[in-house]
Amino acid sequence: MDFQQFFEGSCFDAYKYFGAHIQDEGIVFRVYAPNARKVTLIGEFSSWNEIHMDRGYHNVHSVFVENAKVGMMYKYRIYIDEHNFVEHCDPYGFSMELRPNFASIIADLDEYEFSDEDWMKSRTKSYDEPLNIYELHLGSWIENKDDVNGWYKYEEIADLLIKYLEDNHYNAVEFMPLTEHPADISWGYQSTGFFAPTSRYGTPYGLQKLIDELHKANIKVIMDFVPVHFAIDNYALVRFDGTPLYEYADDSMGLSEWGSYNFIHSKGEVASFLKSSANYWLDKYHFDGLRMDAISRIIYWQGNSDRGINQKGLEFMKTLNSGLDERHKNVILIAEDSSDFPKVTAPVSDGGLGFTYKWDMGWMNDTLDFFKKTPKERKGNYNKITFSMMYFYSECFLLAISHDENVHGKATILQKMYGNYEDKFPQARAFYAYMFTHPGKKLNFMGNEIGHLREWDETKELDYFLLKYPIHDAFNKYIKRLQKIYMSSPALYDKDYMPESFKWLIVDDKQGVTYSYVRKSKIQKIVCVFNFSDEYHKNYEYKHDKKVRLKEILNSDWDIYGGKTKYQDGNIIDSICVRKQEIFTAYEEDFTTLKEIDAPKEVISKVENISYEHYIKMDLPPYSARLFEVVIIG
């Protein structure tokens, strides 16, 4: 570690120096506590008796303990005066004991040997590939009946998780924070151990093995990373050396809206702590990416644009992302940012923040709000569905339906749909067809795929018993089919962030509440048609610029998925040649259609100044989506 870089805030490897490290026949301990009166070490190796630590260069306190071994617990006693001290876990500790206890544990991070070298060399950022992320809370995804807490160990859950991800056609998993944290109810977002995987699910070795196994199955692994704030527990970072070392001195800036403490990113040693933590998870655990939480709180002072931009926060973000990109080939960096701050996903060299993707919070809020509304209200809110494409190409957006949309009285995704129990399912099927055909990468929280009704609770496993009910089983089969189509259809992911991959076909049918667009790649076109009204549109028709034949690949109203239309896979629809003659429909001036000409084509072709177009005619059941692959273009 370079001390100049450490104090400048540009150090990414502080974990290689600070903490507990195996050396010769013992362990060397180092901790940074510049304002402490003195620091002592206690642990199992000393029968919890104090061992004096020498204050050395740059106020680093250190000691070598010959009989300390891997697996032993330890703490630091930070003296604020000659007699008073606070016991702390190691800020750079690699492992910790289970809450409510807080001792750090000596760990050997080189014990596990990864076998994913080829994966690490060949992985990509997935710009022109499908990226379907399953967001997961490891402690409540599935219950281990043989564990008193109901938890599986990291390595134990590997086979179950991989099979589930494969069966449901996910190619990435995002773990909610795995850094050590004292309160289960915080879900890991208020951490005490920024270098320690939570002991709820085992050891560093076990987590390394889990990630290695996921890579063997060609599944990307992303972890939620929290660079904004930390837990208030006095044994961790709070007033670590008797002074606000990691946080602001003024609580008006230091305390967050969540009751935690905000990091002071302008302080070099704090910036280096966080940069080293982010780098550590990518380096030592081979995570493929980090989803960074609450980024607007770094961009603006306490997330409030009225208070102005936090320039030091921006500098921290830019140097963090560019530094990680330089060190890790094709790492994926995702911003959870609810602001409209520009160029979040632009390269730092072009004045951006350097993220790979940004959650599209606008799309999520508008779309879910639309589906909560009555069919009548949807006519007046028609543009909530179309608005996202007005700004989509300003960033590399990721469409996320996360845990935040399934808790705190918001209702689950299925419950958000308008209407009674039976009406919610067709709307949810249509909603997800819209999501998976809309440009942008995808993320769904666990339980969305089975039509979860109960809001998520971190103390309970998912309600898998729902799959015993035919309507939920059919819904899950539908989601599997939809996600398989997404994963195998270049038109739905290739050139996602290029305008030529998307074209509106129907974008003005406010009365019928129908929409249509085509997704395109060099080798494939998929036409997507939606009816978000409660009306049955018989012989619905829309224009196409050329003669076309469509093969139906998915109908959300098929009876096998709980709908009313008889299943007919591969149904073919041919366009009809028409004379260009506009007439008003039942939707008045909001929509136009075309009238077929009865005269033979060879007669009509002799009339001057007559042009021909083509249209597709189909039935659209209420709350439905139909997807077609273009198989012939004339």
Task: Give average pLDDT by consecutive 10-residue segment, the chain, 634 residues.
Answer: 96 98 95 97 98 95 97 97 95 97 97 97 97 97 95 97 98 98 93 97 98 98 96 96 94 86 96 98 98 94 89 96 97 95 96 97 97 97 97 97 93 96 97 98 98 96 97 98 98 97 94 96 96 95 82 97 93 74 34 36 41 82 96 75
What is the 3-state secondary structure of 201-249?
HCCHHHHHHHHHHHHHCCCEEEEEECCCEECCCCCCCCCCCCCCCCECC
Instruction: Tell me whether the omega of the peptide bond preceding residue 100 falls within 30 degrees of 0, making it cis.
Output: yes
- Please report, for residues 427, 545, 593, the alpha-carbon distance to residue 605 in angstroms, rounded to integers and kept in the order given: 44, 18, 21
CA distance 578 to 599: 10
**Of the residues 359, 381, 414, which one is the last residue of a structural domain?**
359
Domain for residue 57, yes or no?
no
Is residue 54 within 8 A of residue 39, CB to CB? The reply is no
DSSP 348: G
- Please report, for residues 472, 518, 560, the alpha-carbon distance to residue 438 in angstroms, rounded to integers and kept in the order given: 24, 10, 24
Is residue 23 within 8 A of residue 64, CB to CB? The reply is yes
Domain for residue 611, yes or no?
yes
Neighbours of 547 (CB within 10 A): 15
pTM reported for the whole predicted model: 0.92
Question: Comparing C-alpha atoms, which of 367, 425, 446 is closest to residue 399?
Answer: 367
Using CB atoms within 10 A of its CB, is residue 500 exposed (0-12), middle (13-18) or buried (19+)? Answer: exposed
The residue behind tokens 């935690």 is: 260
Longest CA–CA span in the chain (Å) reads: 106
Cβ-based neighbours of 300, under 8 Å, separated by 6 or more: 307, 308, 309, 310, 339, 341
Is residue 505 within 8 A of residue 518, CB to CB? The reply is yes
Q: What does the block give as tokens for 496?
A: 């996602």
Domain for residue 229, yes or no?
yes
Domain for residue 491, yes or no?
no
Number of domains in the chain: 2
Q: What is the dihedral of CA 402, 164, 497, 329, to 10 degrees?
A: 100
Neighbours of 99 (CB within 10 A): 16
Is residue 544 within 8 A of residue 503, CB to CB? The reply is no
Is residue 576 within 8 A of residue 598, CB to CB? The reply is no
Domain for residue 402, yes or no?
no
Q: What does the block give as tokens for 367?
A: 């779309």
CA distance 265 to 208: 29
What is the 3-state secondary structure of 7-18?
HHCCCCCHHHCC
Question: Comparing C-alpha atoms, which of 31, 18, 26 is closest to residue 45?
Answer: 26
Count CA atoms within 13 Å of residue 346 on its CB side. 10
Active site residue 250: no
Cβ-based neighbours of 84, under 8 Å, separated by 6 or more: none
CA distance 198 to 232: 17
Active site residue 336: yes
Query: What CATH number does residue 352 fall under?
Result: 3.20.20.80
Domain for residue 351, yes or no?
yes
Cβ-based neighbours of 36, under 8 Å, separated by 6 or more: 61, 78, 79, 80, 241, 242
What is the rounded end-to-end Cα distance, in angstroms, of the chain?
65
Query: What CATH number does residue 586 fall under?
Result: 2.60.40.1180
One-character DSSP codes across 550-595: EEEEEETTBGGGT-SBPP-TT-EEE-EEEE--EEEETTEEEEEEE-
Q: Which one from 212, 213, 288, 293 is the annotated catalytic residue? A: 293
Is residue 9 within 8 A of residue 269, CB to CB? The reply is yes
Is residue 353 within 8 A of residue 324, CB to CB? The reply is no
Q: Which one from 336, 449, 494, 509 is the annotated catalytic residue? A: 336
Paired with 281 in beta bridges are: none
CA distance 580 to 623: 30
Domain for residue 132, yes or no?
yes
Q: Write out the residue range of the structural domain in which residue 593 sits.
A: 499-633
Which pLDDT score, from 0 to 100, does residue 634 have? 63
**Of the residues 312, 330, 359, which one is the last residue of a structural domain?**
359
% helix / strand / coil in the chain, to the nearest 5? 30, 25, 40
Domain for residue 255, yes or no?
yes
**Which three-class secondary structure state does DSSP give residue 327?**
helix
CA distance 304 to 339: 9
Q: How many residues does the chain have?
A: 634
**Of the residues 297, 327, 359, which one is the last residue of a structural domain?**
359
Which pLDDT score, from 0 to 100, does residue 43 have? 98
